[in-house]
Amino acid sequence: MDIDALEARETGIVLDRFAEDTALQLGAILMQLAQALKAPLVIDIRDSDRTYFHVALPGSAPLNALWARRKSNTVLLMQRSSFLIGQRNAANGQTLARHGLDPADYADHGGAVPVRVRGVGVVAVATVSGLPQAEDHALVLEALEHLAAAQAG
């Protein structure tokens, strides 16, 4: 996996704005993509203080919500996608525990991507859980790209 390419794609997705209505729009995009795949996902959009959007689609399990929370925590702390962090850790033979992070609260598996706003930085995290980690990651990136394109007009 090309870690530099992963980081470039992730950091290249920048929204013009983010608010409650944006979170709902992003959640709707993620739901449409998941439903087209018939994917049994939990979708979660949050910042460090609150949840803006959360849904458990048919076929998902409570464990998916736990994974989403753990992946989201990692992104909010490290400001990079959980997949990128996991790939870097694997390449360096490292773990989140090296940073003193409890695996009950943090995970470096794909599916959580930071939401960046132009001129502001990371303001939230969009997370899905239920597919293999690379597919979870790709789905969130696709949704963020759709939203960024819609904002660009």
Q: What is the pTM of this model?
A: 0.95
Please work out, in degrees rounded to the nearest 5, the angle formed at the alpha carbon of residue 9 by the alpha carbons of 111 and 140: 30
Domains within the chain, CATH numbers bracketed: 3-152 (3.30.450.150)
Q: Which residues contact 60 (CB under 8 A, 6 or more apart)?
A: 40, 41, 42, 129, 130
pLDDT tens digits, 51-62: 999 999 999 999
Could you report the per-residue pLDDT of 96-135, keeping only the tens digit for each?
999 899 999 999 999 999 999 999 999 999 999 999 999 9
Eight-class DSSP state of 15: B
